[in-house]
Structure 1
Amino acid sequence: MSATPASPLSRRGLLLRAAAVAAATAVLPHSQALASPAYAAEPRDYAFPKAVREGVARAEARNERLLTGTRSANGWDMETAADRGGSIATRPVPGTPVTDLQVRLGAPETVLVHLVRRFHYEIAGLQPGEAVGWTAPKGLRGPARNLASGTAVRVRPGHYPPGTKGGYFPLELAVLRDILAELDGVVRWGGDDRAVDEALFYLAAGPGDARLTAVAERLRARETTAGGGVGTLVDVHDKRRRSAAEALARRQRNAA
């Protein structure tokens, strides 16, 4: 007589299984964790600990409260609020007066904070409030929707109104292009879009993009190296750097 096939796991069941496995792995050696009920048993055979069930319930409630159910133009989940236990939180931009940049935690934060720091040091000194990250989704259109996922920033928006071109002097534009090239194209400038927005910078890499992870890791490593972080003198007219910046600019403009 053949065995009755196991029924598919529900999303909640998968969350519970994952949470229980994580808890078991944290306290047991690897071999014991694999043999533990959290790993081996079917959901119907194992009573998940109360703490695990409550944790999953809180996570589901948080997602229900914060996620809009849609993604921004670059593929990241948009959220209805920052600093509410979700993926978007307020972060300072070290070395600048900007102390309240709301960005998506992890690699997006590393990359966007780096961009804002270089802008402050090499293009124009920022004042409090001149770097704006997360913005409520309602009313956002096109690439600006990336703000609602915490994967974009507006820098000095009062100086570069949407739809207006030519807001940067030539040297400032050269630095801007150098910053984008340093980030290997994982950030796009709104000045290259058809609907021009020269204050807007946003991730051009979606969740799980290996390029974004690699750039963030490189930036973090550089910050721990003497003379390697933001504030170090950069020659944006160096032939190699200028060539890379111009090549990226052509690719991103052509992709508009």
Structure 2
Amino acid sequence: MTKANNGLSRRTVLRSGAAAVAAVGLSTVFATTARATDSKPSASTAADQARARVLTGEHSANGWAIEKGADIGGSIWTRPIPGSPVTAALRIGDVAVVLVHVVRRFHYEIGTLNRGEVVGYKSPSTVTGYETNHASGTAVDIRPGWYPPGVRGGFLPHELTALRDVLGDCEGVVGWGGDRSHPDEGHFQIEVGPGDPRLAKVAAKIRGWNNSPGKGAGVLIAIS
């Protein structure tokens, strides 16, 4: 009787031990899996981290998000100006379409631009006031050394006529620094905020011109 009980006890102990080992093994697997799952960021966390790498959390004078740099994975990228050797870091999409149009018409009709004569994005640490629009990729300075801030009269009459025609293309969406009380004649910026339907309308018009021969930038205007 004692022997049988001893045998039963041994089987019970062996089974209990095996179950305990299995339980420990499973708990280890679950814990490892949980740690692996926890170490992989969720989609929302990854998106938040990406935004933190790019955005400063502040907005430029015209209401667009300021970014920490150009070509770093955000919305501001260096773009070529077709028909010229010039590039500019601009906010991609409708903003870039409109500002590229301004720079192209300047190049074709006002003065031939050389490499380095157009400045788009500027670091937020270097700008204040209306110039913060550079830090959101929504402004350009054309030949800034030619048109120093505070000085008027940098354009000849026929150049000013062409410039006004360019602004007319943009239907109020682009502002010229020459119209400021403290002039900055080389400065052009988007005047409307994100989501403004006027920007989308003007950008769509310019895209249509770009796809139609005889229209858009590079077409000479009649000067009376």
Calculate the TM-score normalised by the size of structure 1. 0.70
**Residues 1:235 and 1:105: Cα distance change in structure 2 (over 3 Å):** same
Identity score, percent = 49
**Are 1:169 and 2:156 an aligned pair?**
yes
Higher relative contact order (CA 8 A, sep 6+): 2
Q: Could you tell me which of 66, 83, 86 is aligned with 1:95? A: 83
Q: Which residue of 2 aligns with 1:70?
A: 58
How far residue 209 of structure 1 moved from its aligned partner, in angstroms, is 0.5
Q: Which residue of 1 aligns with 2:49?
A: 61
Task: Work out the CA distance in 2 between the residues paired with 1:55 and 1:181.
Answer: 44
Q: Which residue of 2 aligns with 1:28?
A: none
**Are 1:81 and 2:69 an aligned pair?**
yes
What RMSD over aligned residues (CA atoms) do the two structures have, in Å?
1.8
Calculate the TM-score normalised by the size of structure 2. 0.79
How far residue 191 of structure 1 moved from its aligned partner, in angstroms, is 1.0
**Residues 1:195 and 1:142: Cα distance change in structure 2 (over 3 Å):** farther
Partner of 1:138: helix, strand, or coil?
A: helix
1:191-242 CA-partner distances (Å, limit 9, x unpaired): 11122211110000110000000000010011111212321222254xxxxx
Task: Work out the CA distance in 2 between the residues paired with 1:226 and 1:54.
Answer: 48
Q: Is the 8 A contact 1:104 1:150 kept in 2?
A: yes
Task: Work out the CA distance in 2 between the residues paired with 1:55 and 1:230.
Answer: 42
How far residue 59 of structure 1 moved from its aligned partner, in angstroms, is 2.2
**Residues 1:235 and 1:61: Cα distance change in structure 2 (over 3 Å):** same
1:64-213 → structure 2 map (5 Å cutoff): 64-98=52-86, 100-213=87-200
Q: Which residue of 2 aligns with 1:234?
A: 221
Task: Work out the CA distance in 2 between the residues paired with 1:103 and 1:118.
Answer: 17
One-letter code aligned to 2:76:
I
Which consecutive residues of structure 2, in runs of 5 or more, have no partner in the other structure? 1-37
Q: Is the 8 A contact 1:178 1:236 kept in 2?
A: no
1:29-48 → structure 2 map (5 Å cutoff): none
Question: Which sits farther off after the overlay, 161-170 or 74-83?
Answer: 161-170
Partner of 1:103: helix, strand, or coil?
A: strand
Q: Which has the larger Rg?
A: 2
Task: Work out the CA distance in 2 between the residues paired with 1:201 and 1:236.
Answer: 23
Task: Work out the CA distance in 2 between the residues paired with 1:181 and 1:229.
Answer: 12
Q: Is the 8 A contact 1:189 1:200 kept in 2?
A: yes
